[in-house]
Each structure stands twice: as C-alpha cells, then as structure tokens.
C-alpha cells in the first residue's frame, strides 16, 4: 500500500532548485552611485552570481536526466536526494559570503566544500539509480555511461577547486569558470562522438 513516490521526489527537488536559483539574485544590490568603486562592486557581484547560477543550473540538468529513466525510487535514493538538496540549498549562503569577502581563503574554501558535498551525493545518487535500473532489467547506454563518468569527474574537479581556494583564492573564480566551460565542452564532444558511433552502428 505504501511506497516512495518518484513524482513527489522530483517535485520537491525542482522546488528547491527554483528557490535557490531565485534567491541568489537577492545578494546583488544596486550601486549607490555611478562612481568607479560601486560599479566595480556591482560587476563583482554579478560575476559571482552568474557562476553560481551556472553551477546550480548544471546540477539541475544532471538531476533531471538522472531521474528521467527510472520508474520508481527507493528509500535510500530518497534520503540521498534529500541530503543532495540540503547541500544545494547552501549555495546562496556560500555565494553571499563570497560576495562579502571576495577572493578570501575561508569563503572560497566554504564554497568549494559545498560543491564537493553536492558532487559527492550526486555521485552516490548516480550509483543508486544504476542499481535500480539494473534491478528493473535496464541496461546502460553509451550516453548513460558518459553521464556516470561525468558525475565522477565533477567530484574530482571540485577537489581541485578546494586546493586552489586554499593556496590561491584570488584565482578561485577563474578556476571555477574554466571548470564549468571544460565540463560543458567535454560533455558536448562526448555526446557528439556517441551520436556518430550510434549512426555507424545502425548502418
């Protein structure tokens, strides 16, 4: 009679993502004047906001792909997803702290640790979804394997973020931006290769 609902899991997840993406913009304050200092401060806040928005949006893309194929959820996946959302919801806090203490070691490290925790729980969720799919007779496609590897790579890259945050916090945002760009580029290239290979196989 009682079972875990996949639709409710997706519903609360999308709700948390929507709130997180919305409230981050509240940290951006209008400049008190058109002088050089306030305008530079505004540009700094916008830069941090766009990077954080890109990170959270990327997690949403992975999350909706992750849960799209399975027909059911499990208690373990539901609990892991809740912890995943907890760490996602800390992103606005980390973004605000980074705004207030730009290029400082401690807020940069906090930002990195939150990303690591999100990536860690995401990697666990990928593993749990694979197990659910295999139990239901599903098989991983080339695209699925590429997404699974991407989740593991994201965890490794986030550890690199922490290293840069500790030793060279002034380059921290640049490294994150490069990481976002590389992940997007590598993902698109891998998907293009998979499409070409699948077409060759069909012929």
Q: Can you tell me whether residue 3 is helix, strand or coil?
A: coil
> How sure is the predictor about 1, in pLDDT bands with cuts at 50, 70 and 90?
very low
Does residue 1 lie within any of the structural domains?
no
Domain interval for residue 19: 6-202
Does residue 97 lie within any of the structural domains?
yes
Does residue 154 lie within any of the structural domains?
yes
CA torsion, points 130, 135, 137, 141, in degrees to nearest 10?
Answer: 10
Whether pTM exceeds 0.75? yes
> How sure is the predictor about 78, in pLDDT bands with cuts at 50, 70 and 90?
very high
pLDDT at 120: 96
List, for residues 148-195, the tens digit of each pLDDT value. 888 888 888 899 999 999 999 989 989 998 888 887 777 777 667 767
What number of helices (H) and strands (E) belong to the chain?
A: 7, 0
Buried b (16+ CB within 10 A) or exposed e, 13-27: beebbeebbeebeeb
The closest alpha carbon to 105, from 165, 177, 176, 175, belongs to 165
List, for residues 117-130, the tens digit of each pLDDT value. 999 999 999 999 99
Does residue 193 lie within any of the structural domains?
yes
Does residue 121 lie within any of the structural domains?
yes
Radius of gyration for the alpha carbons in the chain, expressed in angstroms and rounded: 19
Give the H or E element holding residue 94: helix 91-100
Does residue 52 lie within any of the structural domains?
yes
**Are the CB atoms for 112 and 165 separated by under 8 Å?**
yes
Helices (H), 104-141: 105-135
Residue 139 tokens read as 């098989």
**Are the CB atoms for 49 and 24 separated by under 8 Å?**
yes
pLDDT at 2: 55
d(CA 2, CA 34): 60
Greatest Cα-to-Cα distance within the chain, rounded to the nearest angstrom: 65
- Domains in the chain, number: 1
What average pLDDT does the structure give for the chain? 88
């Amino acid at each position: 009679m009682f079972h875990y609902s996949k639709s409710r899991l997706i519903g609360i997840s999308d709700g948390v993502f929507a709130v997180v993406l919305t409230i981050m913009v509240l940290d951006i304050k209008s400049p008190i004047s058109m002088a050089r200092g306030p305008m530079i401060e505004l540009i700094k806040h916008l830069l941090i906001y766009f990077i954080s928005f890109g990170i959270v949006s990327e997690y949403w893309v992975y999350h909706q792909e992750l849960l799209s194929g399975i027909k059911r959820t499990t208690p373990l996946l539901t609990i892991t997803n809740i912890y995943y959302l907890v760490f996602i919801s800390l992103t606005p806090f980390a973004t605000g702290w980074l705004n207030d203490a730009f290029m400082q070691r401690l807020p940069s490290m906090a930002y990195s640790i939150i990303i690591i925790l999100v990536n860690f729980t995401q990697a666990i969720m990928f593993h749990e979804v694979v197990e659910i799919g295999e139990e239901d007779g599903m098989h991983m496609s080339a695209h699925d394997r590429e997404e699974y590897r991407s989740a593991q790579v994201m965890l490794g890259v986030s550890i690199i973020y922490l290293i840069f945050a500790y030793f060279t916090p002034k380059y921290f945002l640049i490294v994150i931006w490069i990481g976002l760009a590389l992940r997007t580029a590598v993902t698109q290239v891998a998907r293009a290769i998979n499409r070409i290979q699948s077409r060759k196989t069909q012929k």
